[in-house]
Structure 1
Amino acid sequence: MTMNATPSHQRLQPEFRLLVLLVSIGFFMQALDTTIVNTALPAMARHLNEDPLHMHGVVVAYVLSVAAFIPLSGWLADRFGVRNTYFAAIVIFTLASLGCGLSQSLNQLIFFRVIQGLGGALLLPVGRLAMLKLIPRTQFLSAMSLMSLAGLIGPLIGPTLGGWLVEVATWHWVFLINIPMGLLGILVTFKAMPNVKQKEVKSFDLSGFVLLMVAMIGLSLGIEQLSSREYPQWVSISLLIAGILATIIYAYHSHMHENALFRSTLFKNKIYAIGVLGNFFARFGGNAVPFILPLMLQVAFGFEPFYTGLMMIPLVLGSLFSKPIVRPIIQRLGYRNVLLTNTILVGCCIASFSLTTAETPEWLRAIHFFIFGTLNSIQFVSMNTLTLKDLSQQQASSGNSFLSMIMMLSMSIGVALAGTLVNMFSHYFGPQHMATTFHATLICMGCINVVTALIFSRIPRNIPV
C-alpha cells in the first residue's frame, strides 16, 4: 500500500523558524568550539608557560566531557522538559566559556573545558529532540537542513577565526566569543521552546552511567598520560585497567539491567555492531588530524596562526564537496567496497602528510588537505548510515545516542593518542627534529586507520543500500 497523501517534506512554517534559529545557535557554538581551539593551542601554551606538545588535554577534556554526558541528555529532557534542559545547557556552556577565557593556568582551563563539555553534550541532542517533538514530520527535513548549516559553518570558520583572534587580540577571545551568542540563546529560549515533558520517565540508570564514565575517562586519560613525565607509569596503566574493567562490567550490566542506558540487544544486530566498532577505530586518525596539522604547521614549520587557520579551510571544503557524491558512490559500489577501499585511502592520506614540509607549495598543500577532507567525510557518512540503517524503530533512539557517544569518545582517544605519540617521538628524536616527530606520528595514525579496514571486511557482500 502506498502513502502518497502526505508530501515527504514542506517548507518550514514561520512559527517554527525561531525554534530552529535557537537550536542552530547551540549547534553552531558546539561545532565551533570543537575546532576553533586547535589553531590557538601554541599561543595558549606560550601565555600559560606550557609546552605546546602538552596542550592536547585542552581538546581531550572538552570532547571527553561531551562523550561522558551524552547518555544523560535524553533522560534529563524527558524528566525536566526540553526547554528547561536546553536553557540549563546554554547557561552552563556560556558561563564555562567565560571561565575558560579568564583562566590563568592550564589546570583552570581544563577544568572549565570539562564544564563546557557538559553544556555541549546537552545542546545538540536536546535541541534536536525539541525539534523532533515540536515540528511536524512534513517540515522536519527542512528544519534539519537549516540547522545543519550551522554545524557546517562552525568547522568551516573555526580554525581561521581562532588563528585570526590570536593574532589581532589574545587567545582568550577564542572562548569569550561564545558569550554574546550564548546570551542571545538564553533570551530566545523561553520565547521559542515550549517545555515538553514525558508523562512517564523510567528511573535513571545511575550505576550504568557511572560505569560508562569510568570506562571513557580511564581509557582516554590512560592513553593521554602514557608519555607524561609528571606522573609515574603505573598511574596511566591503572587508568587503562580501570577503563577496560568498567567496559567489561558495563557489558554484563547492559545484558542484565532492564533500564540500562544502552541494552546489549543493540549488538545482536550484526551491521550495527560492525558499524560501531568500525566507527570507534576508524575515527582515531580522522579526528586527530585537525588537531595534529595546525600544531605541526605552527610548532614544526613556524607558520602564523591565521595562515594555519586558512590552510584548514580546504579540509572543510573537501568535506562539503563530498556530501552530494557519497550516496551515488555507495549505491554504485555498496557499503562493503566503499568502506574497505576508503578506510585504506584515508589511512594512506593521513600517512602521506608526513611528506609535507615547510617548503611544500601552498597550492599542493591545499589540494592535499582538500583530498583528505573529501575522503574523511565519505568515511564518516558511510560508517554512520551503515551503522543506523537496520535499527528498528524501538532501537533507533538508543542506537543513535550510543553511536554519538562512541563518536565523541573516539575523537577524545584519537587526540589523546596523537598527543601521546607526539610527546614520545619528541623525547626520542629531540626538540630540534620537530618535523620528524610529527611525521612519525602521522604515519602511526595512518597505519591504525589502514588496519581498521579488517573490521569492515566483516560486512556482508550483498548488504542492501
Structure 2
Amino acid sequence: MRRDRIVPLIIAVALFMENMDSTVIATSLPAIAADIGTNPLALKLAVTSYLLSLAVFIPASGWTADRFGASVVFRAAIAVFMVGSIGCALSSSLTDFVFARILQGMGGAMMTPVGRIVLVRTISKRELVSAMAWVTMPALIGPVIGPPVGGFITTYFSWHWIFLINIPIGIAGILLASRYIENVRAETHERFDVVGMIYAGLGIAGIAFGLSVAGLNFLPWSIVIGLVVGGAIFVAAYLIHAKRTPVPALDLTLFRIPTFRASVVGGFIFRVGIGALPFLLPLMLQLGFGLTPFHSGLITFAAAAGAMGMKAATAGLLRRFGFRNILLINTFISAAFLAVCALFTEATPPAIMIALLFVGGFCRSLQFTSINTLAYADIEPARVSRATSLVSVAQQLSMSTGVAIGALAVDLTAAWHGHTQLIAADFPPAFVIVAGISVLSVLIFVRLPLDAGAELSGRASITTKDPDAKI
C-alpha cells in the first residue's frame, strides 16, 4: 500500500481508539462502579479527569513533536494510552481508576495533534484533503458508536474489555508507525514555554471542565461558574504572558493568517452546534423514546456510516467547488439536518431517522474535513506544530461548549414544562438552538478569499484569473 494512504490509516486507527474510548465508558459507569465499590456519580470523576488531562497536555504536543520527532512522540503517546487502558482494567478503587484515566488523557493529548503534524509534514498538499478525511472520521464516528459499543461489551462480556481491546490495536499501531511513519522534527529546537503551558493548561482545563459539567447536575452551579471564571482568568494571564514571550506555548499570531483564522474561529462556532449531537440524540432516543442503549446506537450509527461514505467524495467536491463555497453552502445543509432531529417523535419510523442521520453524517464529514484541512493552507512548515496545538485546543473547547449548551437547553425546557424527569418534548428546542449556532459560522466563512486553499484542493486560483475579484 502506498505511504500516502497507509500513514493516514495508521493515524486514523489510533485516533479512533482515543475518540471512542473517551465516550465508550458512558453506558458502562454503573457496572464499573459496582465492581470497584463506588457509586456512578463519584465515578463521573473518571470522565472529567480524562478531559482535564487532555486539556492540560495538548499545549505541549507541538513542542514535544518538534523536539523528539513526530514518529517517536506518536508511538510514545499510543504506549502511554495503552498503559492507562491496562490501569483502568486493573483498577480496584476509584482512586486507581481516576489516575489511570489521567494517564490515558496524557496519551490522547499527544495522539491527536501529533497525528495531524505527521500528516501535514509527510503528505503533499495535493493529497492532504484525502488524508485529512481519514483523520476526521474518528472524531465523527467515535462519539456516536462509543456508548452502544460500551453497552454491548458490558452486557455480553465484561466492562474490562472496553479498555483491554485497546491493547492489540495499540500494538499494531506502534508496529505500523515504526515502519511507515518518518520521524520528522523541527530543524531548530526552541525553548519550551513552561509558564505559558501552565497558564494555558489551567485556563483550558477550567473552562472545558466547567462547560462540560454545566447543565449535567453533577456539581453545584457556584462551582461550575467558579471553574469557568477561574479558567478565564488563567487564559487572560496567558494572553498577557504570550505578548512578552518570543515563543509562547500557543502561538496566537497564527490568527493573522486568514485561512487559519477562518478554520479555527468558524470551525469553533460550527462545532459548538454539531458537537452537541452525540450528546443529545442518544439521550432523546433512550430517555424520550424509551429505546435501549443498543437499539439507539443502531440508529445513531447511521450518522457514522454517512461520515464514512463522504471520504471518497471530499477531494472531488473541494476541487470542483473550492473551500469557500463548500463551507458556506454545506454549513446550512449540515445545520438543517441537525435541526430536523427536532421533528423526530416516538412514531417516526426508524428508517426515516436512519436515512436523515446518514445524509447528515455525510455532510458533517465534508464540513469537518474541509475545516481541518483549510487550517494548514497557508502555514509555513516551521509553524505546523504550533498551528496543530492551537487547532486541537480550539476543538476541545468547542465540543465541551456544545455539550454544555445542549444540556442547558434541555434542562431549561424541562423546567419550563414543570417536571424533573426528561421526556421527548424537552429535546426539540435544544436541536433547533444548536443548529442555529452552527449556522452563525457562515459569518466567518464568507470572509474567506474566493481561492482560499486552492493549492490544497487542486482548484485553479481565482486570483490568477481576476486580481480584482471581491472577497
TM-score interval, smaller chain: 0.7 to 0.9
Match of 1:165 in 2: 153
What letter is aligned with 2:356?
A: H
The CA distance in 2 between the partners of 1:326 and 1:348, in whole Å, is: 20
Match of 2:243 among 255, 260, 278: 255
Q: Which of 283, 292, 307 does residue 271 from structure 2 map onto?
A: 283
Contact 1:93 1:120 in 2 (8 A): yes
TM-score by length of 1: 0.79
- Correspondence 1:436 to 2:431: no
Q: Partners of 1:76 and 1:433 in 2: how far apart?
A: 45
Q: Alpha carbons of 1:231 and 1:304: their partners in 2 closer, same or farther (altered >3 Å)?
A: closer
The superposition leaves residues 214-243 of structure 1 with CA deviations (integer Å, 9 ceiling, x where unpaired) of: 221222223234436565433222322222
What is the CA deviation profile of residues 43-85 of structure 1, one whole-angstrom value per residue up to 9, with x for unaligned ones? Answer: 768986547xx99876565455334322212333444555664
Query: In the superposition, relative to structure 1, how do residues 190 and 251 fare at CA in structure 2: closer, same or farther (>3 Å)?
Result: same
The whole-number CA distance in structure 2 between the counterparts of 1:199 and 1:28 is 30
8 Å Cα contact 1:340/1:453 also seen in 2? yes
Kindly provide the CA deviation profile for residues 406-460 of structure 1, in whole angstroms up to 9, marking residues without a partner as x: 2233223323433444445445542444212233322222222123332323334
Taking the aligned partners of 2:324 and 2:426, their CA distance within structure 1 comes to: 35
Q: 1:204 aligns with which of 192, 209, 232?
A: 192
8 Å CA contact retained: 1:40, 1:162: yes
Aligned counterpart in structure 2 of residue 270 of structure 1, from 239, 246, 258: 258
Picking from 322, 342, 357, the partner of 2:330 is: 342
Q: What does 1:57-206 align with in structure 2 at a 5 Å threshold?
A: 61-63=49-51, 65-80=53-68, 85-86=73-74, 88-101=76-89, 112-126=100-114, 151=138, 155=142, 158=146, 160-182=148-170, 201-206=189-194
Q: Which residue does the alignment assign to 2:301?
A: 313
Contact 1:56 / 1:419 at 8 angstroms: preserved in 2? no
- Aligned-pair distance for 1:260? 1.0
- Deviation of residue 343 (structure 1)? 2.0
TM-score between the two structures when normalised by the length of structure 2 = 0.78
Deviations 1:381-407 (A, max 9, x none): 222233321223333332233213322
Distance 1:427 1:159 in 2: 27
Deviation at 1:347, TM superposition (A): 2.4
Q: What does residue 445 of structure 2 align with?
A: 456
Equivalent of 2:434, from 433, 440, 445? 445
Displacement of 1:259: 1.5
Task: Note the alpha carbon deviations across 1:266-293, whole angstroms, 9 max, x for none.
Answer: 1221232122111112111222212322
Give the conservation status (yes or no) of the 8 Å contact 1:97–1:116: yes
Q: Deviations over 1:188-231 (max 9, x none)?
A: 88888898876853221111111211221222223234436565
Quote the residue 1:217 is aligned against. Answer: 205
TM-aligned CA distance change 1:43 to 1:286, over 3 Å: farther
Query: Aligned pair 1:387/2:375, yes or no?
Result: yes
Cα shift readout 1:334-391 (whole Å, capped 9, x = no counterpart): 4344323322332232222121123321110111111210121122122223332122
Structure 1 match to 2:229: 241
Unaligned runs of 5+ in 1: 1-9
RMSD, aligned α-carbons: 4.2
Q: Residue 91 of structure 1 aligns to which amino acid in structure 2?
A: A
Aligned to 1:368: 356
Percent of pairs with identical residues: 34
Structure 2 residue identity aligned to 1:274: A
Note closer, same or farther for the CA distance 1:227–1:21 as it changes in structure 2 (3 Å cut): closer
- Is the CA contact 1:335–1:463 (under 8 Å) kept in the aligned structure 2? yes
Counterpart code for 1:454: L
Question: Bigger shift: 68-77 or 271-280?
Answer: 68-77
The change in CA–CA distance for 1:173 and 1:421 in structure 2 (over 3 A counts) is farther
Secondary structure class of the residue paired with 2:440: helix
Q: 1:193 to 1:354 in 2, by over 3 A?
A: closer
Distance 2:237 2:97 in 1: 32
User: Aligned with 2:248: secondary structure?
Assistant: coil
**Distance in 2 of aligned mates of 1:200 and 1:464:** 27
**How many residues are paired up?**
450
Which residue of the partner structure matches residue 3 of structure 1?
none
Please, which moves more after superposition, 94-103 or 272-281? 94-103
Of residues 398, 412, 426, the one that matches 1:410 is: 398
Residues 242-264 of structure 1: CA distance to partner in whole angstroms, max 9, x if unpaired?
22233333334333311212333
> Does structure 2 conserve the Cα–Cα contact (< 8 Å) formed by 1:68 and 1:405?
no
Greater Cα offset, 177-186 or 362-371: 177-186
Q: Is the 8 A contact 1:40 1:305 kept in 2?
A: no
Partners of 1:343 and 1:379 within 8 A in 2: yes
Checking the alignment, whether the CA contact within 8 Å between 2:58 and 2:109 is kept in structure 1 is yes
> Contact between 1:344 and 1:450, CA under 8 Å: does it hold in 2?
yes
How far apart, in 1, do the equivalents of 2:211 and 2:258 lie?
29
**What residue in structure 2 maps to residue 11 of structure 1?**
2
CA distance in 2, matches of 1:442, 1:201: 47
- Asked if 2 retains the 8 angstrom alpha-carbon contact of 1:298 and 1:305, the reply is yes
The letter for the 2-side match of 1:356 is F
- Paired with 2:3 and 2:329, the residues of 1 have a C-alpha distance of 39
How far apart are the structure 2 equivalents of 1:198 and 1:463? 27
Give the 3 Å change call, closer, same or farther, for CA 433–406 of structure 1 in structure 2: closer
Gaps of 5+ in 2: 455-471
Is residue 97–residue 176 contact of structure 1 (8 Å, CA) maintained in 2?
Answer: yes
Aligned with residue 298 of structure 1, among 282, 286, 297: 286
Note the C-alpha offset of 1:330: 3.9
